[in-house]
Copies of this chain bind each other. A is one copy, B any other.
Amino acid sequence: MVNFELYKVFYLTAKTGSLSKAAKELYITQPSVSHSIKLLEDTLGLQLFARTSKGVELTKEGAVLFSYIEQAYNFISLAEEKLSELRNFSSGEIKIGGSDSLCKHYLLPFLESFHVQYPHVQINLVHGTTPEIVKHLKEGKIDIGIVRTPILDDQLQVREGITIQDCFVTGPKYRELSMGKVSLAKLLTYPIILFSSNSSSRKFVTRLFSENGLLLEPEIELGSVDLLIEFAKIGFGVSFVTKEFVAKELTDGSLFEVNIDATIPSTKIGIITLKNMPLSTAASAFVAELESPGD
C-alpha cells in the first residue's frame, strides 16, 4: 500500500494543476513535489500527470485516481475540522450520571456555568442509584459519575469533591428538636420522613439507629429529596438530608437542624471515572471545573 502522504501531494497537485503551486500549499519546494509525484507514479506504475509548460494535467488514470483521492482527502479534512472543534469545545458531548439528589443540588450549578462557558458541548445527564451509576460507567454509557464516597472499586478513579454532612431537619412545627441535644431514641418518638429504602443514605441512617439498638421505621417514605425537604418544612416530621443542600432553608428559618447526640460522619462527593479510559477533552474540562475550588 502506497505511502498515504504521497496522496496528499497528489491531491494538491491535481487540485492546483501545478507542482509549484502545490509546493507552496505544502510549504515545501517544487523539486520535492516533483520527486513525490514521480515516486507515486513509479510506485503505482502509471503516469498520473501530463507535464505541460503551464503546469500539469491529469492523465486518464490520474483522473480516475483523483476522483477517489478527492473523497478521501475531504474526509480527512472533515476529520481534522471535527477534532479541532472537539479541542475548543465548539462541539462535543459529556454524559454524566448523578446519583440521588446530587444531580440537582450539587451538579446543577456546575452544569449551568459549564453550559454558559461552552454552549456547544452537549450535556447528557442521567440519574440513578450509586450501583447503577457505576454500572453505566463501566458500560461506557456515561463518562463521569457523581456519587457519595466512600466508593471502593479498583476499576474506578475517584476524585474527591466537596465535603457534605447529613443531618436531621424539621420544620417550625417541631422546632423544639433544634434547641438542645436530642437522643436517637427521643427522635423516634417523632414522625420520621425518609428517602426510599434502596438509597445509600437510607441505609446509612438505618444502620445508625440499629447500632444503638433501635429500629428506625419511617412514617413517610419519599422518592425525592425535594419532597423530603418540603414535607419536613410543612410539619410532617423529621427528615434526614444533606445539610449543604438545605443551607438556604436553615438560614431563613423554614427548617431547623436537629441536634442529635450522635455523630453523623461527614462524607465527600466522589467524581468517578473509569481508571483505564481517558476522559474526552470536554469531560476532563468539566471534571476540572468540579475539582477547582471556589466554584
A binding-site residues for B, Cβ under 8 Å: 1-5, 7-8, 44-47, 50-52, 57, 59-61, 64-65, 68-69, 71-73, 75-80, 82-83, 86-87, 93, 143, 276-278, 280-281, 283
Chain B nearest CB: distance from A116 CB in Å? 23
- CB-CB under 8 A from A69, the residues of chain B are 75-76, 79
- CB-CB under 8 A from A278, the residues of chain B are 47, 50, 59
The one of B2, B60, B82, B281 in contact with A68, judged by C-beta atoms closer than 8 angstroms, is: B82
Indicate how many identical chains form the complex.
Answer: 2
Are B8 and A83 within 8 A (Cβ)? Answer: no
The one of B4, B44, B47, B86 in contact with A7, judged by C-beta atoms closer than 8 angstroms, is: B4
- CB-CB under 8 A from A86, the residues of chain B are 46, 61, 64
Chain B nearest CB: distance from A191 CB in Å? 48
Residue of B nearest to A283 (CB): B60
Chain B nearest CB: distance from A21 CB in Å? 16
Q: Which 4 A-B pairs have the closest CB atoms?
A: A68-B79, A4-B4, A72-B75, A60-B280
